[in-house]
Structure formats: C-alpha cells, structure tokens
Amino acid sequence: TVSKEEFKKQSKLLKRELETLPQKIKAAKIPVIILFEGWGAAGKGSIISDLILNFDPRGFKVYSTAEATETEKRHPLLWRHWQNLPEQGYMSILDRSWYQDVSIARVEDDLSDSETLHRMNSINTFERQLTDNGYLVLKFFLHIGQKEQRARFEKLESDKNTAWRVTERDHWRNKHYNLLYSILDEMLEYTNTPNAPWHVVCSNDSQAALLSVYRTVVESVKEAIQAKEKGLTISSARGIPAPKPFNLVHTPLLSEITLEDKTIEPEKYKKELAKLQKKLKGLHYKLYRRKVPVIVVYEGWDAAGKGGNIKRVSAALDPRGYEVIPIASPTKPELYRHYLWRFWTRIPKTGHIAIFDRSWYGRVMVERIEGFCTEADWKRAYQEMNEFERELTEWGAVVVKFWLHIDQDEQLRRFTDRQNTPEKQWKITDEDWRNREKWPQYEEAVNEMLQKTSTEFAPWHIVESQDKKYARIKALKILIKAIEDAL
C-alpha cells in the first residue's frame, strides 16, 4: 500500500514525465504497444483511463479485445491482432489482448494442451518479430486474490449503475479461481520473454498499482529511446538470441535451370489448358465446402509473364471466392508499420483463395538492393517469412510459391516488344530498365531467397517461362497437385 501523501507526490512527478512521452515516441519513431491482462475487477479499465489522461489523444488508440467475430474466426489466430498494430511514433493500448485466446480459451473452449502450446509459441514469435522490428511491447497483468475479487464483485452488484458489469461468467471464474490461477501462471511463465517480459502488478491497492504502471511505462519508453539512439531495437539491446532456423528443401541455383527445351505445341496447350482449368474449377468448390484457404505467391523477373499466368489461374475460379492482390511500393501507413502488416491484413478467409502478384519477398529483393531497409532487416527477414508461412500452413492454408524464370535475352526481347507496341506500352517503365541493369545483384538476391525460404511446408517452384504457354500449364499443374494433396 501507499499513503495518500506519497501517492500524490510520486504521481505528480511521474505524470510530468508521462505527459512528454507521446512527443518523445513520435520523435524517435518508435511504435508502442501497451497491453493489459488480469483478473476480472482487477482495475484494467480504470488504470487505462488514468494512464491515457496523461497523453495527447492524437498519439494513441485504445482497443478492447472481445470474443472473436465469425469473420475473425475464419482467419489465423493472430490476424485480428495484426490489424491493430500502431504506426511508428504512435501507441496502441489494449484492454485485453491475444492472451485471451490462450487463457480464456483454455478454460471455456476446452483448448487441448498441444493447441495451447502452439498458440503460446505463435504469440512468442509474434512478439519477437515486433520487438526485432523496433516495437516496444509492454505487458501488464493485474493481480488480485480470490477474496478481494469476490468483494469487488459484490460492491459492483450493490450499485444498480454498475451491477450489469458482473456476469454469471464472472462468478463462475471466481468460484474456479484456483483452476484459472494455474492456467494463467503457466501462460505468464511461458510467455515471459526477455524482449517482452510480463509486469505482474499487485492490484489490491489501486493507487500503488497505478504508480507501478506509470513507473514501468516511463522507464521502458526511456530504455527503448536510448536503444534506438544507439541504432538498436529492444531485442538487440537485450541480447535476444536468434531463433532456431527451419529445415530447408534443396532448390537449384538459377544458373542451373535449363530453359531452352521447356516449350509446348499450341494445339496441345489449348487442350491442356481447358482440361486443367476445368479441374481447378471443381477443386475450388471443394476448397470452399471444406473451408480450406489457399495462398498463391507469384514472383519472377520483370516481363516473365506473371500477369498472363495469373489470368489463366483466375479464369478457372469463381470470382466470389478469390482475390488477386497486386503488390506495389508500400503506402505511408504500410511503411510506418511492421513490413508484414500489409500482408497479414490481406490473408483470405477459410475457403477462399488469395493470389499475390509480388509479395513479402520484396523485402529480400528490391528493398535489399535499393537500400530501402538495413542489412540486418533483410537478413532477419528470411526467418520471419518462414515463420509467417509456417503460421499460415499450421492454420490450414495451402501456400504455393512460384518463381517465373527467363533469361536476359528473352527479357530484352519482351521489353522491346512492349516499347514498340502501343497497347503494351503501359507495361514498361523506366524502373524496369533500371532493374535490368542490376540483373547480377538481383540474381544473387533471388538465389539466396530461394535457398533460404524453400521449406517443407512452403517450397518454391521454379517455373521456366521462356515459353509463356509452357509456364501457364506447369503452374496450373503444380497448383492443382498442391490443392489435391491438401484435400
């Protein structure tokens, strides 16, 4: 406990510091997440209310995490939480968070031990990816005892203005306090990581609890700013070890790919195309009925034929059940968040297909070569993208990745054709010619990408595209086989 005078004195000093934090966070371009978990009636709402009174309201957003909606349930577990990530220089304050999908789900949805462990591992990876990329993640758990909780429920129920806040579920949880305690204790221990540790706050005395939260927020933001000034993230400043790498599938180097003999006769192409599209159409309905999501990634050299290939795939699909997502340079809101944010938020719901025309792999190609991110950023990205795809496949998605390959002579021929054909001129830009000059750098980057991100669950498929028709048939066959294997 803390005396009235002591609380007044300390809170005055801390409030003064808290008031300057939004400006400091903005100047340092640090994105901050402050999340509150805890027992029912432990004071989450009032602590959040007191905390945000010190901040400029333009610098933060408060999110209350309720039960997942039907749409959210048809996406990966963390999908809804990625939506609420703040831009750099801003704060997201969470009244409950992704931890509800472990603690409450364990008790009320009868979550198995293996699924609980899987969810906690996903959360640890998610938080590490955030702190590796410059986020500050502050986690508070407000703790009160069973008797104290019961007394608070009774107090709330005695006033008709607050009685609605106490539900049957709250009473059930209080009655089974010991069961919940053991589940929460295990969760807190497993997810208490050096980059995002838990701050367990004893909340029997609400004033002492508030001071504890104030102090931790001030000290943690100061630490994050000092780390940033030294060119470090929270992860690197605290010396977090690199995660365990994935088992990789052997992929040939681009120079080892034979392109010359990969062709198809026009008549054979027509027959094959019609047959394969019919097959894919039937599989799409099956996917929808069984609620299996599919994510197709197209990467390749400029003018390798991605657009035409995508067109032949999408022509076989029901337009209500797929989306083609072209990826251009990131917009400002995308640029100011974790680079995977713009891909996480576009993941299809179960039973639907997303076709990415370019993808998250831009991080290790164009962003690497043009210097849009640091060397540490792109070197770390291989692991992060493998983790992202593991998350998708463990959720149940079929992930199919294509690299469309042509040689330099064929690219030049196609560029020239585009330039000399009025209706194709929109397809060619100065940037395409600039990228062509950097072919050796791109080839090195692509080879490294193929070697480091071809996993057992999401391998790369190199599609020889000197003959566009051959490439379309090969891609359709690979996609159909991947879907059939999943069904």
Q: Is the pLDDT of residue 426 over 90?
A: no
Q: Tell me which of 129-133, 255-259, 427-431 is least confident.
A: 427-431
Q: Is the pLDDT of residue 432 over 90?
A: no
The whole-number pLDDT of residue 421 equals 86
> Mean pLDDT across the stretch 175-180?
95
User: Residue 108: which pLDDT band, with cuts at 50, 70 and 90?
Assistant: confident
In the chain the domains, ranked by start, together with CATH numbers, are 4-237 (3.40.50.300), 254-486 (3.40.50.300)
Q: What is the mean pLDDT of the chain?
A: 96
pTM above 0.75, yes or no: yes
The whole-number pLDDT of residue 422 equals 86
220-272 per-position pLDDT tens digit: 999 999 999 999 888 888 888 888 899 999 999 999 999 999 999 999 999 99
The number of residues in the chain equals: 487
262-321 per-position pLDDT tens digit: 999 999 999 999 999 999 999 999 999 999 999 999 999 999 999 999 999 999 999 999
Share of the chain above pLDDT 90, in %: 91
The whole-number pLDDT of residue 428 equals 85
243 near 122, Cβ under 8 Å? no
43-86 per-position pLDDT tens digit: 999 999 999 999 999 999 999 999 999 999 999 999 999 999 99
